[in-house]
Amino acid sequence: MNLAQKSVICLLALATLPCLAQTAASPAQASPAPNHPKPPAPLPPSPFNRTTILLDPAHGGADSGSRISDTLLEKDITLSLAFKLRSLLAARGFTVVMTRDSDAATQADTPTPLTLDDRAGIANRAHPAACLLLHATAAGRGVHLYRSELDPIPYEVNETPWLTAQAAWVTQSQNLQKQLGMALTRAHVPLVFSRASVRPVDSFACPALVVELAPKGSDNSTLTDDGYQQQVARAIAAALVFWQNQAQPPQRLPAVQTPASAPETGAQP
């Protein structure tokens, strides 16, 4: 084979390369891949203050909550427990945000009473490491810990519906529930933990629990016992010290998504 023939063969080989490339690409063009939308890039996580705790002493003002006895109202017990918790948490270096620190829960500088949604708004603006909704009851014994009934979702979607804001945080709330449960068990406080649909917990964008204080035994007056409240508050404060390093805010996704990539909504319609 002389040089001229070799040159012709090389030129032909070079000329066929684009054709081969086109042939290799053609099957993909003939049967295009399913149109899987590219998952949206996650957004920067929401601000998360690991040293901030929100306490929501439930009820207040005209809303007295449950009537434990003729002279004992739920709103007074929740406020008393919140004060004890605030002191213990502040001593451990936490910043404590309270939805009310007097009998009536009112909006700033106005006598307008706080709605349940206002309380959730205060919590969501503070971006705390934990939100504790404090309640009290004469039924049962010890402390009842409840997390939201919403089904968990793995991502926090930007522009989350108000009534299901907690869905992305349910897993964190569950971990916080375990942490508090262990601390209360170590403190020899009878414990019940479960799930409940109590407004406004489903609208909280933070690890959130309903903490319901019940009598220590069969005597309802133990609800006002300083020693009992202090015992419970100490256990909770100790658990939150560990919790502040374990809490992880969920990943955030942009709001505009295709149905295929959108995470499932919570149980609440």
Partner 1 sequence: MISRHQRIVFWSLVGCILAMGALLFGERQHARDRIVALADATPLDAPYSTTESVTLDLANDADGSITATTRPIALPGEVTARARALLEHLIAEYSLPGSTHPLQSGAAVDDVFLLPLPLVGHSANTSALIASTDPNALQPQTPGGELAVINLRSTFVNAHPSGVEVESLTLLSIIGTLHTNLPQIEQIRFLVDGQPRETLAGHADLLRTYPSRDTTVQAQPTTEP
The separation between CA 138 and the C-alpha centre of its own chain, rounded to angstroms, equals: 28
Q: Minimum CB separation from partner 1 for residue 166, in Å? A: 12
Q: Minimum CB separation from partner 1 for residue 211, in Å? A: 9
Of the two residues 65 and 152, which places its CB atom closer to partner 1 in the complex? 65
The site for partner 1 (CB under 8 A) is made up of: 59, 63, 65-67, 74, 135-142, 144, 146, 163, 181, 185, 188-199, 210, 212, 214, 267-269
Of the two residues 52 and 99, which places its CB atom closer to partner 1 in the complex? 99
Q: Minimum CB separation from partner 1 for residue 135, in Å? A: 5
Q: Which residues pair with 74 in a beta bridge?
A: none
Of the two residues 128 and 266, which places its CB atom closer to partner 1 in the complex? 266
Burial class (CB in 10 A: 0-12, 13-18, 19+), 189: buried
Q: Minimum CB separation from partner 1 for residue 58, in Å? A: 8
Of the two residues 236 and 249, which places its CB atom closer to partner 1 in the complex? 236
The SS3 of residue 213 is strand
**Residues 106, 61: contact at Cβ < 8 Å?**
yes
Peptide bond into 32 cis (omega under 30): no
Nearest to 230 by CA among 86, 95, 85, 77: 85
The separation between CA 182 and the C-alpha centre of its own chain, rounded to angstroms, equals: 19
Provide CB contacts within 8 A for 256, sequence distance 6+.
40
Of the two residues 156 and 212, which places its CB atom closer to partner 1 in the complex? 212
The SS3 of residue 214 is coil
Of the two residues 192 and 241, which places its CB atom closer to partner 1 in the complex? 192
Q: Minimum CB separation from partner 1 for residue 41, in Å? A: 25
Neighbours of 105 (CB within 10 A): 25
Q: Minimum CB separation from partner 1 for residue 265, in Å? A: 8
